[in-house]
Structure 1
């Protein structure tokens, strides 16, 4: 695994699954980030106990109360991070928080489920990028690196192969309509962010972590959290301007739109 190089990292959905796995492996790196901001909806609740235990042992880990579907919560979290950064920028924003309704076939999916899923999986990452854009721009301006990279300034949207329209026939064993459509929207958001934010030095990439053994992925999945996260953290350091606006899997292989 190459060194990530990002001095400051913020993750959403950090209290379980892939988000928690990313926090753990970032903390265990030979050169961990100076600051890791780990956010979730209820950092004081029972589902965040493991995250709190990590924070008690690692002074560079800061827990944030953040609901990506709530604009007020996102704005307040950005203010807290800005104060903590004390004039420095944010190198890496990882939009990981997502929801999933396994029974959402075309027969049963309704407007409420579609809207709720879009709100978290597509609108949430958009609002996160908007709120933290000033800090990301600052990091890009502060950097002496040429080109685009995660150590300079980057937005990484955790997406899914289920958002790939071309791959839908091969993956339609699980229809999960609301999740698929929201991730396809997230992929389009990533492309639009790349075309817009790339001009100011911010790399924007969508990553598919694989089918992972989590509450969302179920225990039938192919990958453990540890394997998926190791793959993701191996891909992040090699991302450059040639990957801007692309969808890659956890091994760094391109996935068609």
Structure 2
């Protein structure tokens, strides 16, 4: 999950939705990491709430929450996958489990949502271990999990028959943060979190260039400052507003957004 603990949230806007909120398109299959709570859990809920929800929603977790278990028990299209995102050798098994379900249709959308915000945040308290753990979870894991999953994502793009890029066809969203922006860093601190997420952005950008001929849409997204356990009571938006807005943004993304760094409400962030 990804959260902002500074005042650098000037471009987070609250959107009001009616009960009739639906998308014109949704991916046939989506995999979301870090779904036991917070943004990951709410993304599962919001995909389920669509007028035409995905046929397959894969939700990974390290520790199963009661709420996530309930979603899995009550919805046949939700597949719960136990995974520690730092256990890179386990990725192959996860890919196989997904492949057994999606078959030749492939995986349309991967959302790398799992993340880590270390407790030690200022210059006086940050440790080398904080930096190592944050890089492992926030940059190394999303890069290599995407690499392992990519053949299934590319397969989905080819199977769709669609022209142009879209997240309903084939895409990767690396969940980043506005505080990864070097240009917008006016508050300092958050060394491990900022640095690891800036590194995630760079790995996303390189991947978008290396894989630009595959037709897969790849980008980084800031989910906003969200009211969660880690986001704290001063955050600006609920997980519901965050994820509803994000899904609406997903629908509008196309070739022009490949390799970009966006907020959940479809506004750009300077690198």
2:112 to 92, 95, 101: 95
Instruction: Tell me whether 1:180 sits opposite 2:194 in the alignment.
Output: yes
Listed as ranges, the matches of 1:1-257 within 5 Å are 1-43=22-64, 48-169=65-186, 171-172=187-188, 175-257=189-271
Q: Which deviates more, 150-159 or 71-80?
A: 71-80
Q: Are the counterparts in 1 of residues 245 and 265 from structure 2 also a CA contact under 8 Å? A: yes
- Gap regions ≥5 residues in structure 1: none
Aligned partners of 1:233 and 1:3: how far apart in 2? Answer: 11
Aligned partners of 2:82 and 2:90: how far apart in 1? Answer: 8
Aligned to 2:14: none
* SS of residue in 2 equivalent to 1:252: coil
Aligned partners of 1:4 and 1:219: how far apart in 2? Answer: 34
CA offset digits 1:115-171 (Å, max 9, x no partner): 1111000011101111101101101111211111101100001100010000001x4
CA offset digits 1:55-100 (Å, max 9, x no partner): 1110000000111111122221111111122332000000000010
* SS of residue in 2 equivalent to 1:2: coil
Aligned partners of 2:183 and 2:95: how far apart in 1? Answer: 36
Aligned partners of 1:78 and 1:228: how far apart in 2? Answer: 28
When the two chains are superposed, the root-mean-square deviation of aligned CA atoms in Å is: 1.1
What is the Cα deviation at residue 103 of structure 1?
2.8
Aligned partners of 1:147 and 1:120: how far apart in 2? Answer: 31
How many residues are treated as equivalent by the alignment? 250
* TM-score normalised to structure 1 length: 0.94
What is the Cα deviation at residue 198 of structure 1?
2.4
Aligned partners of 1:145 and 1:128: how far apart in 2? Answer: 25
- Gap regions ≥5 residues in structure 2: 1-21
What is the Cα deviation at residue 237 of structure 1?
0.7
* SS of residue in 1 equivalent to 2:104: coil
CA offset digits 1:157-212 (Å, max 9, x no partner): 1100010000001x43xx21100001101111111111122211111011101100
CA separation of 1:81/1:180 partners in 2, compared to 1, >3 Å: closer, same or farther? same
Q: Are the counterparts in 2 of residues 197 and 203 from structure 1 also a CA contact under 8 Å? A: no
* TM-score normalised to structure 2 length: 0.89
Aligned partners of 2:93 and 2:24: how far apart in 1? Answer: 31
Aligned partners of 1:217 and 1:234: how far apart in 2? Answer: 22
